[in-house]
Amino acid sequence: MSERVEKILANYAGETPGVIGNMRRILMHGRLGGTGKLVILPVDQGFEHGPHRTYAPNPPTFDPAYHAKLAVESGCNAYAAPLGMIEAIANDYAGQLPLILKVNNSDSLGGPDAPHSALTSDIDDALRLGCSAIGYTIYPGSPHRNQMYQDLRDLIRRGRAVGLPTIVWAYARGKMSKEGETAIDVIAYAAQIAAQLGAHMIKVKPPTAFLEQDKAKPLYKDIPHATLEERVRHVVQSAFNGRRIVIFSGGASKGREAVLDDIRAIAAGGGNGSIVGRNAFQREHGESLALLDEIMSIYEKA
């Protein structure tokens, strides 16, 4: 047992034992197990962006087994991917690595104005494959957001009944400026929406200092948001004052030091961890392991 983990789980006192058990399993697994911090390896980019944009920078990553092995070797808390990727590795890794089934996905072949992910798998698939949680993306700002919220409501209810927690990717997108998708007021709002919908863990993008909503701008004069550390602290506050686990994406591909600077700010701001995909696996294998090692070292000291 870990005092830090049990303190986090105490915020979920109304949940079923199955949900708490799987959350504890994820929080206690890997190098950061017991610290209350998380590093998750997600590989849904092949579906979302296409195989060559995703895997060509490091060709061995075309093989689904590469990613699960990287998650184990680096000591990640869990591995998240769509149905096909999980099916390809579940026989070898279910039980030794917490698996998260990403149950909705979309491609990048359509237009950006009305984003809406399709349900590409279900609770039954997650149970069949031995998963510890499901993942679901919402797009606050999309004209289709209300349907996504309703689908998420049903998935959370059904997942809870069989002991599966839900991790919500809260990515604002649609009727807003491109800068607004990562604006501090929008990211904080997206985290609040995910918490209100019943997410057990919330994934958002690192917020910028940009402000999108005119009605929010006067209020942010009194909310510190000049630095990423301050912005992370505000996003965590927006998720029920830190009562919900909030993790941050690695964002677009960038240099090693830029990645680590973000991680330091997330850790200092009280974020629960990171979900790092392309910035890890698109590097050569040894470099990937070294970067993940440095990321975990930062969270270990937080």
Q: Do you know the residue count of the chain?
A: 302
Cα 208 from chain centroid (whole Å)? 18
Q: Which two tokens stand for residue 29?
A: 């697994």
Catalytic residues: 171, 203
Max Cα distance, the chain (Å):
54
SS3 119: strand
Under 8 Å between Cβ of 230 and 224: yes
User: Which of 22, 26, 45, 44 is closest to 35 using CA atoms?
Assistant: 26
| Beta strands per DSSP E along the chain | 38-42, 78-81, 99-102, 104-105, 118-119, 133-138, 166-170, 201-204, 245-249, 273-275
Under 8 Å between Cβ of 176 and 210: no
Q: 52, exposed or middle or buried, with CB in 10 Å at 0-12, 13-18, 19+?
A: exposed
Residues 178, 255, 43: CA angle, nearest 5 degrees: 70
